[in-house]
Chains A and B, each alone.
Chain A
Amino acid sequence: MDFDYTAEENAFREEVRNFISENLPPKKERDKNFLNTWLEKVRAKGWVGFSWPKEFGGSAGGLIEQTILREEMALAKAPPLGTSMMGLAWVGPGIMEYGTEEQKRKFIPDILDSKVTWCTGYSEPNHGSDLAAIQCKAELHGDNYVVNGQKIWTTGAPWSQWIILLTRTQFDVESKHDGITCLLVPMDAPGVEVRPIENMAGDKHFAEIFFTDVQVPVENRLGAEGDGWKVTVSALANERSSIGEVTQMFAKLENLKELVKVTYKQGKPAQEDPSVRRKVAQFEMKIAAMKYNGLRYLTKQIKGEPLTSETSVNKLHRASLEIEMDDFAVELTGQAGLQLRGGDAAVDGGTWSKSALNWPNVVIGGGTPNIQRNIIAERLLGMPKD
């Protein structure tokens, strides 16, 4: 056991820090070209798709260096390293693992260069948590699949150019996990209609998508026909350590402490209230637990031991923290805490009230807490499936 980094790792951390101090101006000084310049520079550094093989334009970076990179970027509150979060997180890795040579050539560079944004077409009106039961139909006619059906809650659909789409190519199957096929579809294909849905925070991040006789060339199938479930599961397993996430949570905790220090409750400083102090300490405890859980899992990965479903542990912590920390901040600050951005008495510019309404993004997206509990109970504790 050893929490120190090697000289090379420390040098890499130093390199990232130097890069950030040279290339990340304070928010007020950023002009409208800032983001493009930033994206070009991190790309030139080889930090986009950092862990991807060099043949695909990545840097073949190790797990620890990747963790350091994420940690430092999160610490500096830097913008993302690419505009296609899902492209970098699982679409790209999925294509590298299952795609044809042509697909790799066609899609990977655009993900790395932030030219194309991907969204993920999984959930349907009747199949959310029960994802494998999807019904969106794809029928092979000649060289094209013809897609008919509907997706919903598709995050990023309003501004994405491509979608990784789970369809059903076979209906009379023994297991619902069979007969699923993964297609790569341009969002501007004829017959694709996107209807954004407003969420309770007033944002239109997700949408429902209707597919009517959409023609998808067979060369846009990812993996074999009927292998869609396998492709999905192994692509999602590419989500690696959650260390960058932990750094963000620590930053949020610091903001919360600053708020506690300037807040008065019942005419007294909130930070003298034992229940306030203990609640904040409990947040710190959970975030620290996420950190050290994450480091244990990272160590397992470095040793080449496969992670089964351990990441669900931190997902559950993250879910409860997302809800509880904002809720705590809003409640702590009384009626002023209720005001949204622009309100005359809004607390911290409405940051807390806004995210108090935005938690389902993180909590429900990617599998609800109860789904995470099913995963832990079934895969780690061996409970029988429902």
Chain B
Amino acid sequence: MNFGFTEEQNLLRDQVERFMQDTCPMPRVRELSSTGGFDEALWKQIGELGWLGLLIPEAHGGLGLKWIDQVVVLEAAATGLCPLPIASHALASTAILTCADDAQKGRWLPAMASGEAVCTLGLYDDANWIDPAAITATAKASDEGYVLDGTKPFVSDASNADYLLLAVQGPNGLALAAVGKEEVAITPQPTMDSTKPMASVDVKGVHISADSLLPMTTDQLSYLTDCGALAVTAEMVGAGEAILDLTSDYAKQRIQFGKPIGQYQGVKHRLADMYVDLESYRSLCYFAGWCADDDPQELARAVSLAKGYASDAFNQIGIDGVGLHGAIGFTAEYDAQLFLKRSKWARPMFGDSDFHLDRVASLGGL
């Protein structure tokens, strides 16, 4: 029994946090997110550091690590609200590892591990429904492969991806269609969080080769959805920690009525509650991260406990983070608001708290 991180994992976390502070600090994040969220040089750099191939086996050029390591990177990157598509890329890697055959893995994974190709994953065709029935895009057999139809809304990082894996109803059931960015029509769908670019992807009439369709079972779809929820929760851990740090520092410095506001229990207790919630969904997130590879049977419940807790708790942390700052927190110039926006973005991703609470109830025998 050891619920702690290894020396290597702690070093990795430090390395990613330092990268965010030194190479991609908040002014750079703001610049990037105002211009679509991508920077090729930064992406190449993190590719060279190995962060883009964490989950990819060594045989395909990656590091062959586990989701718990991916959680470390996503958490640390989110302390600086990293806009780069690390989570999307990791999910696409997992989708290929889960659904592809060896030839397909060999075709895609090496370029993904190095960062040469940016990939993303789009699962559902309804902005507010997580269910196999919410996949309505289709792949129909054609002479040389398949022809696609449908529009996938709110695909994360679609505008910055070279390849997209999109869930479709294929001739033999669910499948993932691999398409290149030139083949599809991508229309940005701005949301309140510009550090998380999203776009709709129109695949009407797009032809793909036979080996670009990856069959996917409903269990695999659930697994990928759970990994998505895990990735978002890991980011909520890092972002939650950052806004709590920002707010705590402010509460120590801001003097009102002759005292630092952090000395008043109205402020102090709110901060303590933020800490309790952050600490709690952090523990649940790490357990879910471990389950992804070491106890997949337990993943659904573990992820729902974590994301169910984090969705509402991080939302409240965002509100209190801004609120405890007073008017300065409300300004565009100050960073607190960016974390609040991230909390709004994270809430519905891969299931809101109601979705996950319902699943906890069902899995728990109700």
Contacts and interface: CB of A to CB of B under 8 A. Distances in A.
A374 B280 contact: no
A24 B243 CA distance: 51
Nearest to A315: B276
A298 interface: yes
Interface string B1-28: 1111110000000000000000000000
Contacts of B305: 284-285, 288-289
B357 A289 contact: no
Contacts of A382: 248, 252
Contacts of A260: 366
A1 B366 contact: no
A251 interface: no
B275 A285 contact: no
B280 A384 contact: no
Interface string A237-267: 0000000000000000000010011000000
A274 B361 CA distance: 9
A380 interface: yes
Contacts of B265: 370, 373-374, 386
Interface stretch (B158-166, B203-211, B281-289): B281-289
Given A261-B366, A280-B366, A373-B269, A383 B279 contact: no
A284 B364 contact: yes
B358 interface: yes
A257 B361 CA distance: 9
Contact of B4 (A5, A281, A300): A300
B260 interface: yes
A303 B366 contact: no
B2 A2 contact: yes
Given A277-B361, A278-B358, A280-B361, A286 B4 contact: no
Contacts of B271: 377, 381, 383
Contact of A1 (B2, B273, B280, B358): B2
A62 to B, nearest CB: 11
Contacts of B252: 382-384
B361 A281 contact: yes
Contact of B268 (A299, A303, A310, A378): A378
Nearest to B291: A3
* Interface majority SS (helix, strand, loop, mixed), chain A: helix
Given A280-B366, A281-B364, A285-B309, A376 B272 contact: yes
Given A280-B361, A292-B283, A293-B280, A3 B308 contact: no
A42 B73 CA distance: 47
Contacts of A377: 262, 268-269, 271-272, 275
B360 interface: yes
A85 interface: no
B128 interface: no
Nearest to B6: A1
A313 interface: yes
Given A285-B360, A373-B269, A3 B1 contact: yes
B220 to A, nearest CB: 24
Interface in A318-370: 370
B241 to A, nearest CB: 12
A165 B28 CA distance: 60
Contacts of A214: none
Contact of A3 (B275, B290, B364, B366): B290
B226 to A, nearest CB: 16
A2 B360 CA distance: 23
B290 A381 contact: no
A4 interface: yes
B358 A277 contact: yes
A385 interface: yes
Given A284-B364, A383-B268, A384-B262, A293 B283 contact: yes
Interface string A1-40: 1111100010000000000000000000000000000000
A377 B264 CA distance: 11
B272 A282 contact: no
B253 to A, nearest CB: 11
Contacts of B259: 384
Contacts of B340: none
Contact of B275 (A257, A277, A302, A313): A313
Contacts of A282: 308, 357
Given A277-B361, A284-B305, A316-B276, A370 B5 contact: no
B168 interface: no
Contact of B248 (A5, A9, A261, A381): A381
B83 to A, nearest CB: 28
A299 B4 contact: yes
A64 interface: yes
A218 interface: no
Contact of A257 (B260, B272, B364): B364
Contact of B360 (A281, A299, A370, A380): A281
Interface in B293-328: 294-295, 305, 308-309
Contacts of A261: 366
B286 A296 contact: yes
Nearest to A271: B366
B139 to A, nearest CB: 35
A298 B3 contact: yes
A383 B251 contact: yes
B354 interface: yes
B263 interface: yes
Contacts of A378: 268
A373 B276 CA distance: 9
Contacts of A381: 244, 248, 262, 271-272, 275
B224 interface: no
A317 interface: yes
Contacts of B364: 257, 280-281, 284
A10 B2 CA distance: 15
A296 B280 CA distance: 10
A236 interface: no
Contacts of A373: 265, 268-269, 272-273
Given A370-B265, A377-B271, A383 B3 contact: no
19 contacts: A1-B5, A2-B294, A9-B1, A64-B1, A257-B366, A278-B358, A281-B358, A281-B361, A285-B284, A285-B357, A292-B284, A293-B279, A296-B283, A313-B280, A370-B265, A373-B273, A377-B262, A383-B252, A383-B267
The 8 closest A-B pairs by CB, nearest first: A289-B280, A292-B283, A373-B272, A277-B361, A281-B360, A281-B357, A383-B262, A377-B268
Given A278-B357, A296-B3, A378-B268, 19 more contacts: A2-B2, A3-B290, A271-B366, A274-B354, A277-B357, A277-B358, A278-B358, A284-B360, A289-B284, A290-B280, A292-B3, A370-B265, A374-B269, A376-B272, A381-B262, A383-B267, A383-B268, A384-B252, A384-B263
